[in-house]
Structure 1
């Protein structure tokens, strides 16, 4: 297996992060922080969940989400309720308004990216970058190093 060296890995990481930062600059004008939009995104993908599970997925402490959760709740973008199976736990879910805001936010970033690709890449390059999408998805799914060979294997 041919591995990339650390300089190549650095270039790849920096390129991916540059595109991600540029996309964030084209977010909707909704007054939410990146953390708050991230919470909405996790809730959209996972459905109803607990605050503890949400914090674990985001790699933050539950206490770190308190301000964001309160603001999202006040704005009626999420709803919190007691878990009927365990009254000590709180369940969180996205409201229709939260889903609409998230879809609008994603649409603005998608429009920017589609326009950037159309204006900066030729047809061959557009095809090539789209071939990379499943590979990047696979790398993103490997958050704990499953692709790394195990010692002694």
Structure 2
């Protein structure tokens, strides 16, 4: 049961700013611990999106990345050159392209994720037990927060 509104401690923008900055700092550190595969964050993002969502249209990829379709063109061309994605006409609407991962993309993505996860696990394990426990309790809360749209 939720607390009555009068007794809730609401978070102000200063606290929200602190949380956002802390999450972004961890994200930047994780990005620094990626393998040297020569791909941009946009390219890795496309691969990760396709891994999570499966075969997608270019428009769907752009929408999820919150960019214009044209912004993905160079990255998608490079990923295709590297043999990490394939593009084909949508059989239901030949004007649309369907994009999917190739088998070669899976080990590259796994390596990228593994390296960042290993760094994060090491960093977390330097924390005292209580802080590690608190951090693990935050996981479901952060997931719910990521799914929220308060507007």
TM-score normalised per structure 2: 0.92
Please state if 1:97 is matched with 2:104.
yes
Equivalence for 1:6: 13
User: CA-to-partner distance for each residue in 1:102-132, whole Å, 9 max, x for gaps?
Assistant: 111000000000000112x111211110000
SS of residue in 2 equivalent to 1:4: coil
User: Structure 1 stretches (4+) deviating beyond 6 angstroms?
Assistant: none
Please state if 1:21 is matched with 2:28.
yes
Q: Distance in 1 between matches of 2:109 and 2:144?
A: 24
**Aligned runs of 1:4-153 on 2, under 5 Å?**
4-119=11-126, 121-142=127-148, 144-145=149-150
Is there any run of 5+ residues in structure 2 with no aligned partner, and where?
1-7
Cα distance, 1:82 vs. partner? 0.8
Cα distance, 1:52 vs. partner? 0.5
Q: Distance in 2 between matches of 1:63 and 1:25?
A: 27
Is there any run of 5+ residues in structure 1 with no aligned partner, and where?
147-153
Cα distance, 1:99 vs. partner? 1.6
RMSD of the TM alignment (CA)? 0.9
Q: Distance in 2 between matches of 1:61 and 1:145?
A: 25
SS of residue in 1 equivalent to 2:104: helix
TM-score normalised per structure 1: 0.91
Cα distance, 1:145 vs. partner? 2.1
